[in-house]
Amino acid sequence: MPGPSTSQRRRNAASSDFLAPWFLGAAAENEATLERLLIAFLRDHVYWRRNFHPEDPPVIGAAEQLAPDYLAAVARMEQALRELSARLKRSVPLYSPRYVGHMASDLLLPGLLAQLVTTLYNPNNVSAEAGPVTVDLEVEVGQQLARMLGYATDSRRAPAAYGHLTSGGTVANYEALWLHRAARLYPLAAADALGAVPAFAGLFRGLDAWRLANLPWPRIAALQARIEALLARAPDAAALRARLAAARVERLGMAGFLARHGLAAPVVIAPRTAHYSWPKAMQLLGLGDAQLWPAAVDAHMRLEPDSVARLLRQAWRARQPVLAVIGVLGTTEFGTIDPIARLVELREQAARRGQGFALHVDAAWGGYLSCLFRDPRGRLVPRSALRKAFRYFPSAAVHRAFGALRLADSVTVDPHKLGYIPFGAGAFIARDRRLAGFVGQRPVYLYDEANPAQSTDRLGQLGDYILEGSKAGAAAAAVYVCNRVLPLDSAHFGRVCAQTLHASEHLYDRLRETAARLAPLCRLVLPVEPDTNVCCLAVNPAGNRALATTNRFGRALYARFAIGRAGKPQGSEFLGSHTSLLRANLKDADARRIARRLGLDPAGFVVAPRDAAREADHLFLLRHTLMNPWLMHASDGRNFLDRYCEYLEQAIRATLADFA
Ligand SMILES: Cc1ncc(COP(=O)(O)O)c(C=O)c1O
């Protein structure tokens, strides 16, 4: 049932005024604030340097700064920067509300300023020794993001969540698999190394390799805790630890480990729509991307739980351990939301038959939308309350999925996407901080084992348990400062998220009106119902029945929204992106339905065309990512999306004329 009326939605859109202080602005309207604060904190940094050891003589003399060589060097530097600045003018104007392409936008000023200011100090968050301030901020940011997702963070009670930043969602996904593999295969290694040692043997009684490979997470965590407690008391602890380390998959490699335990290759189940970082992760960990089993998606590109259930049973019958099931909260191409609550149920059902796996949610895109669903006290906002603010959002399924996020074992979320932070800020968050205890590298130049402060505060020793080494503390500062001024809940950051959804609902309605106007000339179809703020469309010239022609038309239309490598963005009215709906991801009936809606011959939309040039295995789509904060900003009664739709209509008419 539709929600608020047009006038109500107009009022919602007008409330975007609150965004004014938070972004630089489409025409850098907040330039004065950026400049004032940047210079103020640049000076602050300069004084910090001068006050470190003021007794030291200057290393660069004032006279030296007047020498010809010095002046020439500074001129060279300025020249190089001028050239850079000139080249950068060809950058994509991601900040502009005329940009509706990829997952990028204007940046939150507090994050941008914090990042620029902190870069002057250049902290390295690999360890507290190189980034004492920003490592603390990163640990705190991990807790804030965890609470946004609904995780408990009280360290006195398990499970208590932890999280940290990564360079992006890709690395967070790698880390998810790295950690879950370490934890899930730990019991096998422990039994191998310690099963014959009398003090430990009881822990493994009755557990064969298959059962050890399938323990549910709470038992794995409890087993490790018990082993650590026994090791702490064991007289030969060092030797036993060395044995345990030698039996781990991290030491033996996948091939050696599996052969030793007589196990088939473990699998990971992910939806067909999963981001391409997942096959990369499988390759990197030596699991092989053939072991990434694709689960079917429905007509709207949401994971089908029945397909996951079937794959789980298949793995069970074939005695292949399942390391993880991946759900996606906001698919890259369509922004759709997988049924996370159903995946949680499947994990519990599988556990009852003895099959254990980790549930990871790739919420690189949609994770920040959790702000809308959490009130300032961390409680889930009821759907009825959310429905008052939107016309369509959130569907019952979407609300359930966000509510269930707190039960996933871990989550990827990207502050550099819907968190509006400069690039270089993804995050990995786990429901239980004990997960980090299954990996560990402690280089002696960074960690002093004899220093008790370092051994107790492990979360602060990032380099020990994350994939990256040196990493910018400035990214942590950026996220931290943003979260301070806009806490991650419905009353604060949630308002930024709400803007993107209002924009999406507006575009959705306007596109349907555009489609109705263009009906005599072409069919404009949104083949995938938007769950959130990504919206894709296909256009088929009237009378055309051949998919190859539709795709050619789509590409010709897209050329009016694209920047080529040598192109000038200023020449573009609006900038978009594209994707394709793959026939292989659709069921027969859904493919036929989409073909019919477009007026195409359903028999011409096939999984494996005989002649690849016919392009009959995909439908080319214009893709819109609606995250710019100013999309709903109106002047003379039309906002940027109204203008976009007008331009799209003109572009379709012009392309049809060229195409004829
Ligand atoms: C669902 C999903 N996961 C992972 C990623 C990878 O994130 P990043 O580009 O930050 O590495 C993306 C990027 O678009 C994504 O949409």
Q: What is the pLDDT of residue 1?
A: 42
Q: What is the pLDDT of residue 563?
A: 77
Among 173, 284, 332, say which to mutate for ligand 1: greatest number of ligand atoms within 8 Å of CB: 332
| Ligand 1 nearest atom to the CA of residue 274, by list position | 1
Helix residue ranges, H only, 153-275: 169-194, 198-201, 209-212, 217-233, 237-247, 249-261
pLDDT band at 165 (very low <50, low <70, confident <90, very high): very high
Judged by DSSP in three states, 165 sits in: strand
Q: Strands, E, within 501-617: which ranges?
A: 522-525, 534-541, 577-582
Cβ of residue 550 lying under 6 Å from some atom of ligand 1: no
Q: How far apart are CA 589 and CA 483, in angstroms?
A: 46
Is 627 a residue whose pLDDT tops 60? yes
For 58, the token pair is 């200057």
Cβ of residue 275 lying under 6 Å from some atom of ligand 1: yes
Q: Give tens-digit pLDDT for 347-394.
A: 999 999 999 999 999 999 999 999 999 999 999 999 999 999 999 999
Q: CA of 580: how far to CAs of 54, 94, 538, 619, in Å?
A: 62, 22, 9, 5
Lowest mean pLDDT: which of 64-73, 120-129, 313-322?
120-129
| Ligand 1 nearest atom to the CA of residue 168, by list position | 10
* Dihedral over Cα of 129, 131, 133, 134: its sign: negative
Among 465, 340, 330, 469, which Cα is nearest to 397's?
Answer: 340
Percent of the chain with pLDDT over 70: 93
Question: Is 574 within 8 Å of 101 (Cβ atoms)?
Answer: no
| Ligand 1 nearest atom to the CA of residue 365, by list position | 16
Cβ of residue 426 lying under 6 Å from some atom of ligand 1: yes
- Cα 535 to ligand 1 centroid, rounded to whole Å: 17
- Cα 426 to ligand 1 centroid, rounded to whole Å: 9
Q: What is the pLDDT of residue 128?
A: 87
Cβ of residue 366 lying under 6 Å from some atom of ligand 1: no
Cβ of residue 168 lying under 6 Å from some atom of ligand 1: yes
- Cα 328 to ligand 1 centroid, rounded to whole Å: 10
What mean pLDDT comes out for the span 183-200?
97
- Cα 429 to ligand 1 centroid, rounded to whole Å: 15
- Cα 503 to ligand 1 centroid, rounded to whole Å: 22
Cβ of residue 431 lying under 6 Å from some atom of ligand 1: no
For 198, the token pair is 């009398």
| Ligand 1 nearest atom to the CA of residue 330, by list position | 1
What mean pLDDT comes out for the span 586-591?
94
- Cα 15 to ligand 1 centroid, rounded to whole Å: 30
pLDDT band at 333 (very low <50, low <70, confident <90, very high): very high
Is 416 a residue whose pLDDT tops 80? yes
Q: What is the pLDDT of residue 588?
A: 94
- Cα 425 to ligand 1 centroid, rounded to whole Å: 11
Cβ of residue 337 lying under 6 Å from some atom of ligand 1: no
Among 25, 225, 214, which Cα is nearest to 112's?
Answer: 25
Among 166, 414, 467, say which to mutate for ligand 1: greatest number of ligand atoms within 8 Å of CB: 414
- Cα 238 to ligand 1 centroid, rounded to whole Å: 41
Judged by DSSP in three states, 536 sits in: strand
- Cα 487 to ligand 1 centroid, rounded to whole Å: 23
Is 514 a residue whose pLDDT tops 50? yes
For 636, the token pair is 């003379």
pLDDT band at 572 (very low <50, low <70, confident <90, very high): confident
Q: Strands, E, within 12-168: which ranges?
A: 162-166
| pTM, 2 dp | 0.95
Is 3 a residue whose pLDDT tops 90? no
- Cα 574 to ligand 1 centroid, rounded to whole Å: 24
What mean pLDDT comes out for the span 250-262?
96
Residue type (1 letter), 615: E
Cβ of residue 627 lying under 6 Å from some atom of ligand 1: no
- Cα 626 to ligand 1 centroid, rounded to whole Å: 16
Is 10 a residue whose pLDDT tops 90? no
Is 455 a residue whose pLDDT tops 50? no
- Cα 419 to ligand 1 centroid, rounded to whole Å: 13
Write the residue with the smallest CA distance to atom 8 of ligand 1.
169
Cβ of residue 364 lying under 6 Å from some atom of ligand 1: yes
pLDDT band at 614 (very low <50, low <70, confident <90, very high): low
Write the residue with the smallest CA distance to atom 14 of ligand 1.
332
- Cα 422 to ligand 1 centroid, rounded to whole Å: 15
pLDDT band at 172 (very low <50, low <70, confident <90, very high): very high
Helix residue ranges, H only, 457-492: 462-465, 473-485
Which residues does 366 contact at the CB level (< 8 Å), separation at least 6?
329, 330, 335, 337, 418, 532
Lowest mean pLDDT: which of 222-226, 564-568, 576-580?
564-568
Percent of the chain with pLDDT over 90: 88
Q: What is the pLDDT of residue 462?
A: 85
- Cα 275 to ligand 1 centroid, rounded to whole Å: 6
For 517, the token pair is 């106007």
Q: What is the pLDDT of residue 456?
A: 45
Judged by DSSP in three states, 292 sits in: strand
pLDDT band at 440 (very low <50, low <70, confident <90, very high): confident
What mean pLDDT comes out for the span 209-230?
96
Q: Give tens-digit pLDDT for 60-115.
A: 999 999 999 999 999 999 999 999 999 999 899 999 999 999 999 999 999 999 99
Is 436 a residue whose pLDDT tops 80? yes
What mean pLDDT comes out for the span 583-587?
93
Cβ of residue 110 lying under 6 Å from some atom of ligand 1: no
Among 94, 167, 170, say which to mutate for ligand 1: greatest number of ligand atoms within 8 Å of CB: 170
Cβ of residue 338 lying under 6 Å from some atom of ligand 1: no
What mean pLDDT comes out for the span 638-644?
96
Helix/strand number for the chain, H first, E second: 24, 13
- Cα 170 to ligand 1 centroid, rounded to whole Å: 6
Q: Give tens-digit pLDDT for 14-34.
A: 467 899 999 999 999 999 999
Q: What is the mean pLDDT of the chain?
A: 93
